[in-house]
Chains A and B, each alone.
Chain A
Amino acid sequence: MAKSKVSEGVDTRSGLKAAAWRRRLPLMPALIFLVVVTQIPFVVTIVISLFHWVVMYPNDTRFDWFANYVAVLRDPYLRAAILNTAVMVVVGVLAALVIGTFLALLLNRTFFGRGFVRTLLITPFLIMPMAASLMWKHLIYNAEYGLINGVLKWMGNTFGFDAPQPEWVSGSPKVAVILVLVWTWTPFMMLITLAGLQAQDPEVKEAAMIDGANAFQQFRFLTFKHLRQYLELSTVLGVIYLLNAYDQVFSITQGGPGTATTNLPYQIYVTIFRGYDYGRGAAAGVLVVIVSIIISNFGLKLISSLNDVIPAGGRKK
């Protein structure tokens, strides 16, 4: 508070202005970089989305108002992609959140090899997503020599029954993709929840125990209440990351069979780089941005309140 006056002791107006600029100066390179690399492209995307622009027909490029948006909403592929994205994000985030919280509760106690178990559990998140996706497709799901069917066959041989050998990827493609997403993001949810659990003041729990609260009551009224903001944080971040999921779809199913697993990032990619329909791809991109803005509006408030960061900055003003 007092320290801002320490600086130079300027009282003239221009001096104040100069001081304000001096304060802004260190921020400028980063802000300019962000504007150029992340903001201008979005503006360009909006502009492109208003044009009929298919690379194969360069002579037919023209301003076309909202025709691309209408086309996107009519395009069966993009419509399927919107629906699939919703399913993947909702199911994926919820499953990862529930399993992650469960694991965090398991890890939030002392037992032999706790650090090692945590290390095992976070590894799926660290493996390169492309490597993980290819691993699931070819080493786990593969019907002929994948691990799942291999174990089934082994059990069949051992216990003398005819083991089923399903085609996991083409048989239940959505499940196959979502399972990999959940496997990847559960550790993420677990880490944030675990950090939340460990930020809980043990004395509060102790007091509750002395007051005679049982384990369930302790969880319901203390732990869960305390965890809530962490769960919300991991949900918002999870939604943002799963909304951008691309590697898994690209490598496991290529969006198929048919439109069973195509999601928005993948379908937009295909529209742009395989269909060469820049206008339509851009329009679909703008739609994703709108959805993201709605979600992030919620997320931004949450993160600022959780971070306790903005008040800290404001306090010193």
Chain B
Amino acid sequence: MTVSASSRALAGTRRDPKAVPAKPVVSKSARRRKRNNSLLGVLAWFCGLVFFAPIAWMVFVSFHKEVHAAVSPPDLTAPLTIEQYANVIERNIAPYTINSLIAAGFSTVLVIVLAVPAAYATAVKPIRAVKGTLTWVLSTKFLPLIAALLPLYLVFKELGLLDNIWGLVIFYTGMNLPVAIWMMHSFLSEIPPDVMAAAEVDGAGLPTILARIVLPLALPGIAATGLIAFIFAWNEFMFALSLTGTKASTAPVYLVSFITSEGLFIAQLSAASLVVSIPVVIAGWVAQDRLVQGLSLGAVK
């Protein structure tokens, strides 16, 4: 059974084989099965709510004054306010968010620009050592990033790329490139070779083929790849912390700056956390199927 049989798998239209035998009289066991089914549905709802509860609580806290948020037991009747969101904006969240947008956005574009031609050379018009090349590409993904931190830090220091947002763009591109090449490879493998051959007979050059044929056919794959690259770059913290100082800091670094030992800050922290998480959360919600494709390195389609 091939994995790719699962296309449209998550659309939620799985046929239930149990529902097939339609007997005129509802038997006892069928009734029991139906009850079990709805019980399992309730259990699923319960689990979903448990997993979401901490986030719901954060949303709740973010709409309160600090003094009302930091009480035990929780005061569910305290007045709501949006002042924390105003505070967050006042506390200069904008530059950090813009840095995050630049780092994640440009690195995503760069990843796609590099990965699509690369995958063309492995999937569409394959080079001879496809297997070795792909394995090597993926092996770089398995190397822990922490081992690259010191040399990159030293080199960036030499090149004046410390506290420079373009330094992060370069690093995030490298960080996401292996996954992107694999994903694009698995998507481009599905383009029928005849389409390519026809284009070549017509005398189209590589840029034309890429732009006119590969790109439109691979658009869903590119969307999945871009989503994953963006999420990982947006959420990355360790390198953002080590390679930036004041100018180029990104959103997760901004969050850390909220932590002080004095005074109450949890309502404001909640508001800030939600603001910086929202772009990725919404993107992930909207493109859930693409998310699965990306997370499994293209193995699940």
Contact = CB atoms under 8 A, between A and B. Distances in A.
A120 B181 contact: no
Contacts of A42: 143, 147-148, 151
A134 B146 contact: no
B281 A123 contact: yes
B72 A273 contact: no
Interface string A59-99: 00000000000000000000000000000000000000000
Interface string A237-266: 100100110110011000000000000110
A191 B266 contact: no
Given A107-B44, A195-B6, A195-B292, 13 more contacts: A3-B197, A29-B118, A38-B178, A45-B148, A111-B41, A114-B12, A120-B49, A121-B51, A121-B52, A125-B284, A145-B70, A199-B6, A289-B143
B14 to A, nearest CB: 6
A52 to B, nearest CB: 15
Nearest to B274: A131
Given A27-B133, A191-B295, A244 B121 contact: no
B242 A273 contact: yes
B41 A124 contact: no
A54 B164 CA distance: 25
B288 interface: yes
B281 to A, nearest CB: 4
B20 interface: yes
Interface of A: 3-4, 6-7, 20, 22-27, 29-31, 33-34, 36-42, 44-45, 48, 103, 106-132, 134-136, 138-140, 142, 144-147, 149-151, 153-154, 157, 183, 186-188, 191-192, 194-196, 198-202, 205-206, 209, 226, 230, 233, 237, 240, 243-244, 246-247, 250-251, 264-265, 268-269, 272-273, 278, 281-282, 285-286, 288-289, 292-293, 295-296, 299-300, 303-304, 306-310, 312-314, 316-317
Contacts of A121: 47-48, 51-52
A33 B237 contact: no
A38 B143 contact: yes
B146 A246 contact: yes
A242 to B, nearest CB: 11
Contact of A154 (B74, B189, B251, B298): B74
B52 A226 contact: no
A240 B142 contact: yes
Contact of A26 (B146, B150, B206, B292): B206
A126 B145 CA distance: 21
B9 A199 contact: yes
B3 A308 contact: yes
Contact of A199 (B1, B173, B181, B265): B1
A299 B178 CA distance: 14
A144 B70 contact: yes
A37 to B, nearest CB: 3
Contacts of B121: 23-27
A307 B37 contact: no
B73 A139 contact: no
Given A6-B200, A128-B276, A119 B285 contact: yes
B186 A285 contact: no
A126 B73 contact: no
A23 B209 CA distance: 13
Contact of A201 (B5, B182, B280): B5
B281 A126 contact: yes
Contact of B45 (A113, A125, A226, A309): A113
B253 to A, nearest CB: 8
Contact of A157 (B54, B73, B114, B133): B73
Interface string B46-69: 011101101101100100000001
A147 B300 CA distance: 37
Given A41-B148, A45-B151, A123-B52, A313 B12 contact: no
A183 B276 CA distance: 19
Contacts of A192: 292, 295-296, 300
Interface string B261-297: 0000110011011101100110011001001100111
A27 B70 contact: no
Given A303-B297, A316-B126, A202 B135 contact: no
A37 B47 contact: no
Which of A147, A154, A265, A269 has the largest count of B CB atoms less than 10 A from its CB? A147
Interface string B17-55: 110100000000000000001101101110111011011
B139 interface: yes
Given A26-B121, A134-B258, A109 B37 contact: yes
Interface in B112-142: 114-115, 117-118, 120-123, 125-128, 130-131, 133-135, 137-142
A12 to B, nearest CB: 18
B47 A150 contact: no
B45 to A, nearest CB: 6
B252 interface: yes
A306 B284 contact: no
A295 B143 CA distance: 10
A229 B77 CA distance: 50
B151 A300 contact: no
B11 to A, nearest CB: 9
A255 to B, nearest CB: 14
